[in-house]
Amino acid sequence: MTLSNIMLAVIVAILLLMAVAIGQIIVKLLDGVIRLREIKIYEESGVEEFIRAKIDGAESNLWDRIKGLLSDAVPVEKEKDILFDHTYDGIQELDNNLPPWWLYGFYGTIVIAVLYMGYYHVLGYGPSSLEEYEAEVALAEEQVQEFLSKQANLVDENSVALLTDQAALESGQLLFNVNCVACHLESGGSMPGGVGPNLTDEYWLHGGSLSDVFKTIKYGVPEKGMISWQGQLRPRQMQEVASYIMSLQGTNPANAKEPQGELYVPEATEAAADSSQVNG
């Protein structure tokens, strides 16, 4: 058993003892209330009324006695004895005592507050409000990251977006160096007579937009010897590779392969696509 468990057991035992002590105090207070009421009846109404009250109390059921003790309400027939002299708009005020249940509840909140302060802020066994807040924030961040990771793997050629942050480009470069250098070299420019095309110029065999590059990586070009990578790379990884390839534009490595395919001009291609959508 660890020290913290021992201390927790000690605290629980102390709380139980305090609860028993508080219960005994409440019983004594209730007994005192009964005695005070009997003394008040004796002083105000004499011995006969005092004896009658004792007999009535003995003959009344337990629930009536408990209800009377908790409310400390004056019987309706005796309310004239506790009326204030002043009136307002024909309304008179009774000088009733606060209900004992309310007073004991109030005292109980004070005891609970002291125990709470001791447990959480003095002894430090419970987490503070700041610690609970920080734990909730950390949990929320984990949930957000989990959500984003799932969303990232839902990307396809229709929704892919260019990644420009350094971490994503470095990840794309690493994946490129592991999987693509055999055909395109590390520079991306391939070489004269090489297998893969030059990825650093403006000429493309299968389209030069980010969506085109992503699609080429995903489905491959089997007739040209390029395999489909969707079985080996997650959508997010293919997005990183495509974004890294786009960052190679204009690097002009030495001894690169000659241009192949058609010149890709982003502005003209996008304008033609917009025009076709309007006409369509």
Q: Identify the pLDDT of residue 107.
A: 85
Q: Under DSSP, is residue 254 helix (H, G, I), strand (E, B) or coil?
A: coil
For tokens 């000659």, name the residue: 258
Q: Identify the pLDDT of residue 274.
A: 45
- What is the DSSP secondary structure assignment for residue 99, as one 8-state letter? P
Q: 180 and 228 share a domain?
A: yes
Show which of 126, 157, 182 is a domain's final residue.
126
Q: 110 and 225 share a domain?
A: no
Q: What is the DSSP string of 162-197?
A: ---SHHHHHHHHHHHHHHTHHHHTTTS---TT-SSP
Is residue 158 in some structural domain? no
Radius of gyration of the chain (CA): 42
Is residue 131 in some structural domain? no
Q: Under DSSP, is residue 87 helix (H, G, I), strand (E, B) or coil?
A: strand
Is residue 48 in some structural domain? yes
The answer to whether 213 touches 184, Cβ cutoff 8 Å, is: no
The alpha carbon of residue 59 and the mean position of all alpha carbons in its chain are separated, in whole angstroms, by 58
Is residue 279 in some structural domain? no
Domain at 172, CATH number: 1.10.760.10
Q: Under DSSP, is residue 86 helix (H, G, I), strand (E, B) or coil?
A: strand
Which tokens sit at 223? Answer: 């007739």
Is residue 155 in some structural domain? no
Number of structural domains (the chain) is 2
The sign of the torsion formed by the CA atoms of 245, 250, 253, 255 equals positive
Closest Cα to residue 155, out of 234, 56, 54?
A: 234
The per-residue pLDDT string of the chain (280 residues; one tens digit each, 9 = 90 and over) reads 455 666 667 777 777 777 777 776 776 776 677 677 767 766 776 666 666 666 555 445 455 555 565 666 666 667 677 777 777 888 887 777 777 778 778 888 898 888 888 888 888 888 888 888 999 999 999 988 887 677 667 788 998 999 999 999 999 999 999 999 999 999 999 898 888 999 999 999 999 999 999 999 999 999 888 999 999 999 999 999 999 999 999 999 999 999 999 999 886 445 444 444 433 4
Q: 19 and 72 share a domain?
A: yes
Closest Cα to residue 85, out of 93, 73, 75, 74?
A: 93
Q: Identify the pLDDT of residue 214.
A: 94
Rounded CA-CA distance 47/42 in Å is 6
Rounded CA-CA distance 41/39 in Å is 5
Q: 51 and 101 share a domain?
A: yes
Closest Cα to residue 211, out of 169, 240, 242, 176?
A: 242
Residue 102 domain boundaries: 3-126
